[in-house]
Amino acid sequence: MRTAIILFNLGGPDRLDAVKPFLFNLFNDPAIIGLPQPLRWMVAQLISSRRAPTARSIYEHMGGRSPIVANTEEQARALDALLGLDFKCFIAMRYWHPRARGLVAAVKQWAPDRVLLLPLYPQFSTTTTASSVREWQREAARVGLTVPTTTLCCYPDNAGFVTAVANGVRRGLAQFDPTLKPRVLFSAHGLPKKVIDAGDPYQEQVERSVAAVLAELAMPALDWVICYQSRVGPLEWIGPSTEAEVRRGGADVVPLLVVPIAFVSDHSETLVELDIEYRTLAEERGVPAYVRVPTVGADADFIAGLADEVRRAIAAPEPIRSSAGHRICSTGRSGCPCGQMGS
């Protein structure tokens, strides 16, 4: 049985001229801005035009392009090596190339017996995984790719992911002066509060990931907090914000260990926002020391955890499944895709 694995990720501009169209694709997604067309198109044009100059400066810090495709390709190669010849990983970016539209023909040509959709978002959100899955389904239907397809919707407490993050925390803590007691900031991408209030399970699943990492660390005296970064626009966002927690670290005069808990590969939010902007803020606010834990990337434990998820998913009958094999979201999370699977 030949299995095509589709690795979903956000994507990023591959050159400075691609920054504005990348932003347009992002804001023209109905999962991000829920206006009907042509209003959404008009708003996406306006926002992308206004944000492009600032975004260009961000990508200039990264050599003029996002590293997310190269990082995802490395993860794909590592997963291919573990799974063997009956499996092949393909990567599909949501807002820039390679996108699903250009990928489905290559997948169909490979002639898989089945397809597994595997988001590189451990925590499910309607704004990330669901959006990528919908785009894939549209494009697969367009080319007549009709083989059985399974979606792994989430794996917030996958053992390999948790071990990789916990090991990163341990290595990060070892960098501080042993006389100091650092505070750990588990930082995730933020969402408008209205998205969570509408039933999106993302925040709940971020909390599940952090709980699993803390259990793995077994450090009951650890000072930690979950926070959210990358707020844009006037809406109320879930919090506390990472920026506010950096400021609080300065007020409390405590070292900070920043842990990306919802990103599995580096991009602008880690390489610029965490490594440059918040580090600068920490220095300005008197934070004694600031250390950022690397994303899990192609860490052996993380890749092994993904391989385990692949094997379990293809052996299961459900078309949509969490890493637990059943619904893990609380009853009030109407955005959970596993509702039909029971509790």
Rounded-to-integer distance, Cα 305 and Cα 159, Å: 6
The residues with which 285 forms a beta bridge, in sequence order, are none
How high is the pLDDT of residue 234? 81
How high is the pLDDT of residue 45? 96
Question: By C-alpha distance, which of 61, 50, 57, 58 is closest to 27?
Answer: 50
How high is the pLDDT of residue 159? 98
Residues 206-228: tens digit of each pLDDT:
999 999 999 999 999 999 999 99
- In the predicted model, what is the mean pLDDT of the chain? 95
Annotated binding site for Fe(2+): which residue ranges? 189, 269
| Identical fold, 3-156+300-341 and 160-292 | yes
Annotated binding site: which residue ranges? 189, 269
How high is the pLDDT of residue 332? 85
Where the chain has pLDDT below 70, the residues are 339-343
How high is the pLDDT of residue 232? 80
Residues 322-340: tens digit of each pLDDT:
999 989 999 889 999 985 4
Q: 160-292: which CATH architecture?
A: 3-Layer(aba) Sandwich (3.40)
Half-sphere exposure of 233 (CA within 13 A, CB side): 16
Q: Are 238 and 190 in contact (CB under 8 A)?
A: yes
Give Cα separations from 256 to 182, 227, 240 (angstroms).
5, 13, 15
- What the block records as the tokens of 301 is 């434990």
Q: Where along the chain do its domains lie?
A: 3-156+300-341, 160-292
> Going by CATH, does the domain composed of 3-156+300-341 fall within 3.40.50.720?
no
